[in-house]
Structure 1
Amino acid sequence: MYLLVFYIWQLPVLAVGACPALCSCTFGNMGLAELRLVQCSDPGISAVPVNVPANTTKLRLEKTSITTVPRAAFYNLSELRFLWLTYNSVTSIHPSSFVNLKTLRELRLDGNLLTSFPWEGLRDTPLLQTLGLHNNRLSSLPAHAALFLPNITYLDLSSNRLTILPAELLDLWFPLPGQRSGPLQRRILGLHDNPWLCDCQISMVMSLSMSLGSSVVLMDRMVTCSRSLGQSRVLLTQVEPNRCMRPSVQPAATRVNSPLGSNVILRCDATGYPTPTLTWLKTSAYPDCCQQHESVEELPRDLASFLQESPRVGVRWSIISLNGLTYKDAGEYRCQARNMAGISEALIQLKVVGITRLSRFPKKTPTAQLTSSKYKKPNQTVIKIPLGKDSQTPRSTKTQTAPDLTNKVYPGGEDVQDTK
C-alpha cells in the first residue's frame, strides 16, 4: 500500500525528470500521460534532443545552435502534430527526417539558412497542411515539389531568393476546369520579398489570385520583379511582363494504319509559353469488326508510358511506342498539351490491319497430248487458218472445240484408248 502511494506520488517527478536538458515541458493534470508541449530555446543546444517524451504533441526548437536535422530525428514522436524549428541555424535537412510523423499538421522552418528543402520528405507527413519556409535562402523550386504539396493549404515562401515558379506548381494552384479533382481547395501563399523575374508565370499568379472566386489568396500583394537578375526591382503591377501563350499541338500523322503484330510510334509536337506539358489519353476504341474478340477496356484512360523532351523554351515533343499491336490497341489517341494559359489537343486515329485470307489460285491444267480418242471431254482451243496466197492477213480465225486427249477410265476399271 505504501509502495503504491509512493509510486503515484513520484509520477510527476518522473515526468519532469524525462524532460530534455535545457528544455521546458508542459504537463497536464495527470502527469506524464497528459504531456503536450516541449519547448527548447537555449542557444547551447546544438543538436535535436533524442529524449523528447513520446507523447509530445507540440515540439518547439527555437533560437538554438542546431545546424542539421538528421535522419529519423523525430521517429519516436508518432503523436506529434506541431513541429517548429524556427530561427535556428539549420542548413540541411535529411530527406528522411520526418519519417513516422503520420499525424503532423504544421511544420515551420522560418528564419534558418536553408538553400534547399527535401520536398520528397513530405510523403512521410500525409496530414500536413501548413508549411512555413519564410526567411531562408531558397533560390529555386524544383518541378517535383508539386507532387508533395497537394494537401498544403498554407505555404509561406516569402523572403527567399526565388526567381521562377515552375509550371507544375501553377497547375496545382490554378487547375484548369477540366483538371480539377474533387472540391476546390483554398490556399494561402506567401510569395513576396523574392527577386522574381518579370515573366508570364508570376504575372499570371497575380492576375488569377485577384480574380473573383480565386482558390489562392496572397499574404502580400506587394510582389516585385525585375527584367533580369541583378537589376532593380519594381512592383509587378507597374510592368507588363511577357504574355502567356496557349499551347498549339501538331501530330506527326492524324491517321495511322499498321499491321497486326507490328510496332508503331505516335508523335506530337507542342509550342506555347510557358513550355507546355504533354499527356496522352486513349479516348475510344476503333470500330473494327475483329475487335469483338478482344476484352472490353474502360475508356478514356491515361497512358503513363510515354517519352517527352523540351529542346528549348516554349517547345516540347512527346512520343508513345506501341509494340506488338493487337486489335485492342486500335482506336483514337489524344495528345494533350497544357500550360497555365490553356489546353490544346490533337487526335490520332490508329487502325490495326489484320491478315486477310487469300483465295487459292486455280491449278494449271497440264498440256494436252495430241492423241485422238473417242472418249474425251470437250476442250476449247484456238486453231489458226493458214494465210492465203495474195493476202497478208488470215482469211479467218475461229474457236473450235478440240477433243480432250487424256485417257478415260470406266467404272469397270479398264483404261480404254483409241488405237487407230
Structure 2
Amino acid sequence: MYLLVLVHILQSHLSAAQSCPALCACTYGESGAAALRSVQCSDPGISAVPINVPADTVKLRLEKTPITRVHRAAFYNLSELRFLWLTYNSITTVHPSSFVNLKALRELRLEGNLLTSFPWEGLRDMPRLQTLGLHNNRLSSLPAHAALFLPNITYLDLSSNRLTILPVELLDLWFPLQGQQGAPVQRRILGLHDNPWLCDCQISMVISLSISYGSPVVLMDQLLVCRMSPGQLGMLLTQTELSRCTRPSVQPAVTRVISPLGSNVILRCDATGYPTPTLTWIKTSAYTDCCKQDNLTNSDQLPRNLDSFMQQSPRVGVRWSIISLNGLSYKDAGEYRCLARNMAGISEAPIKLRVVGVSRLSRLPKKKSQKTPPKSTSKYRKPNQTPTNVPSVRDNQILQNVTPPSIKKTQAAPNLSPRIVPINKYIKRLKLNLTDAKTSTSVKSSPEPPDNSTTALLSKTLV
C-alpha cells in the first residue's frame, strides 16, 4: 500500500515537471486550502515569452532575459494569473493587446526595460489591476488619455524615467477639485523622483498638495529634481522659486446684450491665470421676459454645453474665446456663462442676451365706436355716419313745402312793409267796390290787394 502511494506522488511530480516550460521553474505553494502555481523564467537563453505556461499559473516571472517585445495575446491562456513580473529584460515594445483576458491580474511590473512608450489603453483589459511599476525605463512623456485608464491604480511607479511635465488630466485624477469627486478619494502612492521635471506649476502643485494634511497622494520620495529650462542643470524643488498657480479670472466684454430679432451677435470673454486656463460656454437659462411661450420648448434642456465657439491664447496665462450667434431668434435669448478652468480652480462670468422684436403678427384689439360724433365740421364726418340731430332727405323735402307759422310771420312782415297803405284809403275803395259791382276795371287798375294775412286783418276791421 505504501508503495502505491509513493508511485502516485512520483507520477504527479513527473507530470508537473513535464508541463513546465523549458528553461523555467515551476513550483507550488499553499495559500489557504488552494494550491498556487508559480512559474519563473530567468534563463538567458529565453528570447520570447513562453507559450506553454500552465493555465493554472497564478504568478509568472520573466526576469533578466533578452526578450525584446511582448506580442499580441501573449498571456491569453492565463486567466487565473494575478502577478506578472517582466522585470529587467530588454523589452522595447508592448503590444496594446498583450494583456487580453487577464481579468484577475492585480500586479504588473515592467521595471528595468527599454520602454519609450507604454500602451495605456491596454489597462482596460485588466480591470482589477492596482499596482503598475514602470521604474527605470525611457518614458519621455505621459499622454493626457492615460488618466482614463488609471482610476483603479493605487500604486504607480514612474521614477527613473525621462519625464518632464505632467498633464493636467493626471493632476485632476490625483488631486480632484473640492466638490467634484463623487466617491471617496482613493489614496495613491506615486513614484515621481529621478525625472528631469521642468519647474512649472504642475510639479509644484504635486509637491504642495502631497505634503498637505489629508492629501490623497503619497510620494515615495519628495526630493524631486527639476530644471528651469531644458538646458539647465537640475536642482531640488525646495531650493527653487517655483511659479505659483493662480486661479482663473474671467472678464466678459459686456454683461448685457439687447439685439433685434434676426440680427447677428458675438459674445466674448477673456481669462487670465496660470496655467493658461481653458474656456467653455454653457447656456444656463432661457429669457422669460418676452415671448415666454417660445422659450418653454427648450427650457427643459438647460443647462447645455455649447460646442461651436473659438478660443485662442495669445501668450502664456491669457486666453480669450468668442461665440457667434447668427440670425437671432427668441430661442437664442437667455443667460450664457463663460467658464475658465485650470488646475487651480474654476471661474465663470454670465452674459445675458435679450432679443427684441415681433416674431409673428397678432390681431389688434377692436376700438369701441363713439356714440356721439365729435364736435367738428361736416367735412371730418365719416361717410356712412349720420348724426342724430341732422334731418334726413325726406324731412328736408317736407320742410321745403311746409313752413311753420313762426317762420311764415317772420318772412311776411318784411314783404308787407313796403306795400302797406293807409287803412282808410282801402276801406273807402272797398265800399266803392261793394256799391258798384260793374266798376271792376277800377279795381283792376288799383294796386294789388295785400296777401291773405292783410285781407284777414281788413276783414276784422270792417266787422
TM-score where L is the length of structure 2: 0.68
One-letter code of the match for 1:336? Answer: L
**Residues 34, 118 of structure 1: CA spacing in aligned structure 2 closer, same or farther, 3 A cutoff?**
same
Structure 1 residue 361: Cα displacement: 11
* CA distance in 2 between partners of 1:29 and 1:188 (Å): 29
In structure 1, what is the equivalent of residue 242 of structure 2? 241
One-letter code of the match for 2:305? Answer: L
**Aligned counterparts, 1:182-331, within 5 A:** 182-251=183-252, 254-255=255-256, 268-284=269-285, 286-287=287-288, 289-290=292-293, 294=297, 297=300, 303=305, 305=307, 311=313, 312-317=315-320, 331=334
In structure 2, what is the equivalent of residue 124 of structure 1? 125
The equivalent position to 1:338 in structure 2, one of 319, 341, 365, is 341
Give the gaps of 5 or more residues in structure 1: 363-377, 382-397, 407-420
Percent identical residues: 71
Bigger mean CA offset, 226-235 vs 312-321: 312-321
One-letter code of the match for 1:162? Answer: L
In 1, are the aligned partners of 2:279 and 2:311 still within 8 Å (CA)?
A: no
In 1, are the aligned partners of 2:286 and 2:295 still within 8 Å (CA)?
A: no
In 2, are the aligned partners of 1:165 and 1:201 still within 8 Å (CA)?
A: yes
**Alignment of 1:399 onto 2:399:** no
Bigger mean CA offset, 334-343 vs 158-167: 334-343
For residues 289-346 of structure 1, the C-alpha deviation after alignment (integer angstroms, 9 at most, x for no partner) is 32686387476x6738466655454344556788999988765443332222222112
Structure 1 residue 236: Cα displacement: 0.6
**Residues 82, 318 of structure 1: CA spacing in aligned structure 2 closer, same or farther, 3 A cutoff?**
farther
Which of these two proteins has the greater Rg computed from alpha carbons?
2
In structure 2, what is the equivalent of residue 91 of structure 1? 92
Q: How many residues align?
A: 373
State the SS of the aligned residue for 2:73. Answer: coil
TM-score where L is the length of structure 1: 0.75
Structure 1 residue 239: Cα displacement: 0.8
* CA distance in 2 between partners of 1:329 and 1:404 (Å): 47
Structure 1 residue 358: Cα displacement: 2.9
State the SS of the aligned residue for 1:171. Answer: helix
Which structure shows the bigger proportion of residues in strand conformation? Answer: 1
One-letter code of the match for 1:344? Answer: S
Bigger mean CA offset, 271-280 vs 83-92: 271-280
In 1, are the aligned partners of 2:72 and 2:95 still within 8 Å (CA)?
A: yes
In structure 2, what is the equivalent of residue 359 of structure 1? 363
In 2, are the aligned partners of 1:185 and 1:215 still within 8 Å (CA)?
A: yes
For residues 87-131 of structure 1, the C-alpha deviation after alignment (integer angstroms, 9 at most, x for no partner) is 111111112222222222211111111111111221222222111
**Aligned counterparts, 1:75-154, within 5 A:** 75-154=76-155
In 2, are the aligned partners of 1:379 and 1:402 still within 8 Å (CA)?
A: no
Give the gaps of 5 or more residues in structure 2: 1-5, 367-371, 385-463
**Residues 65, 260 of structure 1: CA spacing in aligned structure 2 closer, same or farther, 3 A cutoff?**
farther
Which structure shows the bigger proportion of residues in helix conformation? Answer: 2
In structure 1, what is the equivalent of residue 417 of structure 2? none
**Residues 260, 25 of structure 1: CA spacing in aligned structure 2 closer, same or farther, 3 A cutoff?**
farther
